[in-house]
Amino acid sequence: MGIIGWIVLGLIAGAIAKAIMPGNDPGGLIITLLLGVVGALLGGFIGSRLFDVGLEDFWSIQTWLLAIVGSLIVLGIYRVVVGRRAVSR
């Protein structure tokens, strides 16, 4: 899958992760979508290391599930880290 495919997959996965985990995110929609791109990369890395499957085909269900799970993980970590920083100020 090309770099444009990775970016599109990550943006869509970030939007889906935001729909699954609604709430006020510090940074708004743009940051959430960028976190989706990072999450797609993380999901592909985790999938390739743990399950020996990666993000190979754009239209594969395993690609989408890994990207969405990775986006959920990154979004959750982001909320914890930035949420603590906002409270401590």
Q: How far apart are CA 87 and CA 69, in angstroms?
A: 27
In this structure, which amino acid lies at residue 76? G
Secondary structure of residue 73 in the 3-state scheme = helix
Residue 32 has a CB neighbour count (10 Å cut-off) of 22
pLDDT (0 to 100) of residue 85: 65
Q: Walk along the chain (89 residues) and give the pLDDT tens digit of each residue.
A: 677 888 888 899 999 998 998 877 777 778 888 899 999 889 888 888 888 776 677 788 888 998 999 999 999 999 888 876 655 55
